[in-house]
Structure 1
Amino acid sequence: MCGHLDTVKSPKKAGSAGSAAYHHGDLRAALIRAATAIVRERGIDGFSLREAARRAGVSPAAPQHHFGDARGLLTALATEGFRMLGDALAAADSTAMDRDGRIRAQGRAYVAFALDHPAEFDTMWRCARIDTGDASYAAAAGRAFGLLKAAVAGTPLEDGERPAASPHAAPDPKAIACWSLVHGLARLALDGALGPAEAARGAIDGMLEPVLDCLAV
């Protein structure tokens, strides 16, 4: 059998049907799914590249071909998180009729994303564990934060545009205030400060609108 890193078969009992192999184009996605599951179960500090390879059914060396090291795979996970967050913010923004509605819709979408995708959300902000200079990461983060900035400024932003701004740049004070508010609520919910997951969703639904009312933006 060829030892190419993109074609590594999972161990199977002899004679078993449906022997799986990850071919070129599949392995990268499989490793990101494995990393997501590990971070959700163990937290980012419990993540290891070897465990991701084991769960994906490939050799320990296989992930290096696509990501280089653990930092590279976690950066890919964070990038995917920002892409999904950007999509959620864009969808929410498109349903609003005015500036206030855009800010509120994006705020609700931000918190919902964090609760629905805790592994990605946690990884997106762990700057010491990821490569924030990665071009794909910077583009995805810039798009997501650019959507928030545009809503706060009351200006349009065509989806697909790649603004230079990112959460790690010097942001607009009003945008940072809105971001801090919804990010703080999301973090409190994920950390259990607002009760179990479903209770937290209900608590946030009840408090987000009044909190936004108090924030003069």
Structure 2
Amino acid sequence: MVDQEREKYHHGDLKTALIEASEGIIREEGVEGFTLRKAAKAAGVSPGAPSHHFNGTKGLLTAVAIRVFKRLETKLNALPFSGIAAQDIRTQALGYVTFAAHNPGLFRLICRVDLIDFKDPDFIQASFDALTRYAKAAAAYFGQEPPDLHRRVFRPHMASAMATAHGLAHMVIEGRPAVLLDTPDPVGTFIETMLPSVLLATWPD
């Protein structure tokens, strides 16, 4: 097993295998069900491999979070851009909530600053890049400057825009639409039929 791990590491596969295994566990069991031992077993490596290559649980979960943020970036950047500020911020918020609904365990992970190293430079870059399109749409809507990674300025309207999408995302992954809708798929129904109206009420044309 050690020789196999060395071979995988030599080809750059071991870290990826551990990240993918960890992601799979979190998808199935949530971050609460994650352990380094489970990750090692799922990746087919020795129990000590995750700690050795990621310096413990926080290091591995940070690597997973970076991967999730990159996936979120891809999803949000693929959404249509109209150049109309109100429409674009609504589109981005809808995409953000939809991503959370499809990836509840992983979404909860990227929100847990107690479990990840939120000061890690790669994490900071990935989280900023993931939300840049959304932040630019919000800045355009409120007539403010686009975000700058190296010049963090608190803007109440921007914070409100992020809090709105984030709050709706948590409402969805916590199953709150089931209180409003008696359907086989309350989350999907809420996103398709009600959420656009909520976003329009929040950011009208």
Please, which runs of 5 or more residues in structure 2 have no aligned partner? 142-146
1:153 counterpart residue number? 139
Scaled by the length of structure 2, the TM-score of the pair is 0.83
Hey, what does 2:166 align to over in structure 1?
183
Shift in alpha-carbon separation, 1:145–1:63, aligned structure 2, 3 A: same
AA aligned to 1:6 is R
Which amino acid in the other structure matches residue 187 of structure 1?
H
Residue 84, structure 1, aligned to residue 67, structure 2: no
Identify the residue that residue 116 of structure 2 maps to in structure 1.
130
Pair 1:3–1:197, CA change in 2 (3 A): farther
1:2 positional shift:
6.3
Q: Deviations over 1:63-102 (max 9, x none)?
A: 233211111110011111111112222222x432311121
Higher fraction of helix? 2
What is the Cα deviation at residue 171 of structure 1? 4.0
CA distance in 2, matches of 1:2, 1:131: 28
Deviations 1:138-168 (A, max 9, x none): 001111233222111129xxxxxx94179xx
Match of 2:83 in 1: 97
Offset of 1:200 from its aligned partner? 0.5
Following superposition, the deviation at residue 103 of structure 1 comes to 0.4
Assess if the C-alpha contact under 8 Å between 1:35 and 1:77 holds in 2: yes
In the alignment, the residues of structure 2 paired with residue 109 and residue 205 of structure 1 have an alpha-carbon distance, to the nearest angstrom, of: 11
Matched, 1:173 2:156: yes
**Structure 1 residue 164 corresponds to structure 2 residue 153:** no
Q: Following TM superposition, by how much is the alpha carbon of 1:118 offset from its aligned partner in structure 2, in angstroms?
A: 2.0
RMSD: 2.7
On the 8 A contact 1:145/1:165 being kept in 2, the answer is: no
Q: Which amino acid aligns with 1:215?
A: T
Distance apart, 1:48 and its partner CA = 0.7
What SS does the aligned partner of 2:135 have? helix
| Percent sequence identity over aligned pairs | 35
Of the structure 1 ranges 133-142 and 60-69, higher mean CA displacement relative to structure 2 is found in: 60-69
Equivalent in the alignment of 1:6: 6
The alpha carbon displacement at 1:37 in A equals 1.8
Counterparts of residues 106-145 of structure 1 (less than 5 Å): 106-145=92-131
Q: Does the C-alpha gap of structure 1 residues 79 and 55 become closer, same or farther in structure 2, counting only changes over 3 Å?
A: same
C-alpha spacing 1:214/1:32, structure 2 compared with 1 (3 Å): same
**What whole-Å deviation, never above 9, does each CA across 1:31-50 have from its counterpart, x for those lacking one?**
11211122222221221111
SS at 1:202 equivalent? helix
Q: Secondary structure of 1:6's partner?
A: helix
Q: Taking structure 1 as the reference length, what is the TM-score of the superposition?
A: 0.79
Higher relative contact order (CA 8 A, sep 6+): 2
Distance 2:149 2:42 in 1: 36
Q: Offset at 1:106?
A: 0.5
Contact (CA 8 Å) 1:143, 1:163: kept in 2 or not? no
Is the alpha carbon distance of 1:216 and 1:96 closer, same or farther for their aligned partners in structure 2, counting shifts above 3 Å?
closer
Tell me whether 1:73 sits opposite 2:82 in the alignment.
no
SS of the residue 1:77 aligns to: helix
Alignment CA distance shift 1:165-1:199 (3 Å): farther
Q: How many corresponding residue pairs?
A: 195
